[in-house]
Structure 1
Amino acid sequence: MDIETMSRTAEALVAPGKGILAADESHPTMAKRLAAIGLESSESVRQTYRGMLLGTPGLSEFISGVILFDETIRQRTPDGTPIPELLRRQGIIPGIKVDGGIKPLAGFPGEVATEGLDGLRARLADYASLGARFAKWRAVIRIDGALPSATCIETHAHALARYAALAQEAGLTPIVEPEVLMNGSHTAQRCAEVTVTVLRAVYEQLGHQHVVLEASLLKPNMVLPGVDCPHQVSDEEVGRLTIRTLRQAVPAAVPGLVFLSGGQSDEQATARLAAINRQGPQPWQCSFSFGRALQGPVLRAWAGEETNRGAAQAALLHRARLNSLARSGEYAPSMEAVS
């Protein structure tokens, strides 16, 4: 376990002006994304799309790392270059999603647990040999009436901590992702309360498992009202609530936070990231790890046509640049128009 190397990776991933591209969609999720532009999801189509996405010239100006899926980290470009090597040549750090997805939490209707701890040590070693330098595990917490239960929170916190300990054992910087979903009618204040409770439980378990926080990152949700809540709040209020909430639970030893977009639109995610970064200096870098909020415009511009490759890559660079500006709070909605 080389803590110094993992700490340097964590710091590089949240370098000022940069963030992470999440390209770790599972097969079912990727099938939905491709179906939306009229394409059937096959290995060759996924390979072509992700090769175009990750081969975007100039991407490293705004993107520090990419989270890959198991299929993608094993794929090559048409000239035979392994995808992790393609990223490294651009100065982008390859990472890997290692959880096994969510399943119903037995005995707790309406709640889920994340699977994938069985065999994880061997899989992490394999991913490290393929070129990954960081890993990610996602937990999913739903707010609904009395939910989440204490058992659900404890289950997720323990799994996240076991994963993080195993990742560091393998020399991979762990990204810990306890996502409080924005689905539902709960208020922003309820989201804040649940988020604090979840994060305190997660960091308690990370301590129990001897995870070195300086060599890890947190991928948190923003503090938002549920999508069906009648009382929505401004972007600046999201920024204020999010920072106030995280300061109650996230240790200063953590180098950075890479916010998830969690179903927000491209513009919402960027505007709220900017609002978060306008709250003043924080103990951690406040960055991004966006999937759909970066890839949505790319997929629409590409539409499966090789002739659209340039336009699709330009769409990615435009979106990535706006999120880069949001890192310093400098983003404004007027920048959305492509010049």
Structure 2
Amino acid sequence: MQQKEQFEKIKNGKGFIAALDQSGGSTPKALAAYGVPETAFNNEEEMFDLVHKMRTRIITSPAFDPEYILGAILFEQTMDSKIEGIYTADYLAEKKGIVPFLKVDKGLADESNGVQMMKPMPDLDELLKRANERNIFGTKMRSVIKQANPEAIKAVVDQQFEVGKQIIAAGLVPIIEPEVDIHSPEKEKCEELMKAEILDHLNNLGEDEFVMLKLSIPTKANLYKELIDHPMVIRVVALSGGYSTEEANEKLKANDGLIASFSRALSQDLNVNQTDDEFNAKLKSAVKSIYEASI
């Protein structure tokens, strides 16, 4: 798949984006949910090896189907690992026809003024260079908003777009992800403030500076319609944010043009002890339900 083809698929394709990018901190949790206890590994290397096996099983499954899945977000370790002797991104693009993305943030800074900014990324240029060598199409980076603090929300969105421009300059498409905490008592207010800040940045982008957005499903249905229709936005995707698959799908359906980019909701029923038939059937049913909600 060439970049132009990938751009088209992400912009106009029917389906959703699979998030397979749990990193260091959330990996033990992801493995435990998959039925692999912490006693199964002794160090980080063994842990990443097990998680790569889990991701390989998902990606190589016939249920991981390009008819329903437009793209997949990878963790750095997954990008540098191989599936059936081919680097993961090439396997996705060539064997599956699925567009590869890379998570590039280094995690969240401590909460301050009701938000969590991204930690500094001193090696970002180096990582983007590697991402290009590995044929990655776009990137993803996450911040979190918990309180309706206008200055702090502005700072989060400013940081996202500042790094986003660095990513665009490297020839990749950034997924801008300022997540609003679904448990925030001020969720709706946070979303309105954030939307205004995002629009401000979108209106100041140059003519080739395309971005994607990854946002929590809004409290008020279709709040993000303006962002979805914006000429500089390739696609707006939603994170499940801790909702169960069923709840996330229900909420997603109320928003026209918003598609899913779920991680937990995709893999919540998968288990290491399932036979391939059981595993594929569970994955297929999750994929289909998320797809239905996305279209």
Aligned residues: 283
Does structure 1 conserve the Cα–Cα contact (< 8 Å) formed by 2:142 and 2:179? yes
Take 2:7 and 2:195, find their aligned partners in 1: how far apart are those partners? 19
Take 2:234 and 2:127, find their aligned partners in 1: how far apart are those partners? 26
- SS of 2:70 mapped into structure 1: strand
Q: Which residue of 2 aligns with 1:337?
A: none
Q: Which residue of 1 aligns with 2:77?
A: 71
1:216 to 211, 214, 223: 211
Does structure 2 conserve the Cα–Cα contact (< 8 Å) formed by 1:68 and 1:94? yes
Q: Deviations over 1:123-177 (max 9, x none)?
A: 112111112111111110003xxxx323321221111111211111111111111
Distance 1:176 1:211, change over 3 A: farther
Take 1:203 and 1:242, find their aligned partners in 2: how far apart are those partners? 18
Q: Which residue of 2 aligns with 1:200?
A: 196
Does structure 2 conserve the Cα–Cα contact (< 8 Å) formed by 1:10 and 1:216? no
1:64 CA drift (Å): 0.8
- SS of 2:221 mapped into structure 1: helix
Q: Which residue of 2 aligns with 1:271?
A: 250
- Whether 1:50 and 2:80 are equivalent positions in the alignment is no
Distance 1:310 1:171, change over 3 A: farther
Take 1:273 and 1:138, find their aligned partners in 2: how far apart are those partners? 20
Take 1:260 and 1:318, find their aligned partners in 2: how far apart are those partners? 19
Take 1:207 and 1:117, find their aligned partners in 2: how far apart are those partners? 26
Q: Which residue of 2 aligns with 1:246?
A: 224
Take 1:182 and 1:312, find their aligned partners in 2: how far apart are those partners? 29
- SS of 1:21 mapped into structure 2: strand
Distance 1:60 1:8, change over 3 A: closer
Distance 1:192 1:247, change over 3 A: farther
1:208 CA drift (Å): 4.8
Take 1:287 and 1:250, find their aligned partners in 2: how far apart are those partners? 10
Q: Deviations over 1:292-332 (max 9, x none)?
A: 0111112xxx2x23x6233222212211112222233xxxx
Q: Which residue of 2 aligns with 1:97?
A: 103
Take 1:160 and 1:212, find their aligned partners in 2: how far apart are those partners? 18
Q: Which residue of 2 aligns with 1:280?
A: none
Q: Which residue of 2 aligns with 1:39?
A: 37
Does structure 2 conserve the Cα–Cα contact (< 8 Å) formed by 1:274 and 1:327? yes
Distance 1:74 1:312, change over 3 A: same
Distance 1:51 1:31, change over 3 A: same
Q: Residue type matched to 1:128 in 2?
A: N
Identity of aligned residues (%): 24
Does structure 2 conserve the Cα–Cα contact (< 8 Å) formed by 1:141 and 1:179? yes
Q: Say which one has the larger Rg.
A: 1
Q: Which residue of 2 aligns with 1:233?
A: none
What stretches of structure 1 of length at least 5 have no aligned partner? 225-240, 278-284, 329-339
1:291 to 226, 240, 263: 263
Does structure 1 conserve the Cα–Cα contact (< 8 Å) formed by 2:146 and 2:187? no
Q: Deviations over 1:16-67 (max 9, x none)?
A: 4311000010122120122232423512211210100111125111101100
The correspondence of residues 1-339 of structure 1 with structure 2, limited to 5 A, is: 9-36=6-33, 37-40=35-38, 42-58=47-63, 59-77=65-83, 79-88=84-93, 89-105=95-111, 108=112, 110-143=114-147, 148-184=148-184, 186=185, 190-208=186-204, 210=206, 212=208, 215-224=210-219, 241-243=220-222, 245-247=223-225, 252-253=230-231, 254-277=233-256, 285-298=257-270, 302=271, 304-305=272-273, 308-328=275-295
CA RMSD between the two structures? 2.3
1:71 CA drift (Å): 0.6
Distance 1:71 1:90, change over 3 A: same
What stretches of structure 2 of length at least 5 have no aligned partner? 42-46
- SS of 2:117 mapped into structure 1: strand
Using the size of structure 1 for normalisation, the TM-score is: 0.76
Distance 1:113 1:96, change over 3 A: same
Q: Residue type matched to 1:149 in 2?
A: N
Does structure 1 conserve the Cα–Cα contact (< 8 Å) formed by 2:266 and 2:287? yes
Take 2:74 and 2:146, find their aligned partners in 1: how far apart are those partners? 25
Does structure 1 conserve the Cα–Cα contact (< 8 Å) formed by 2:80 and 2:87? yes
Q: Residue type matched to 2:224 in 1?
A: L
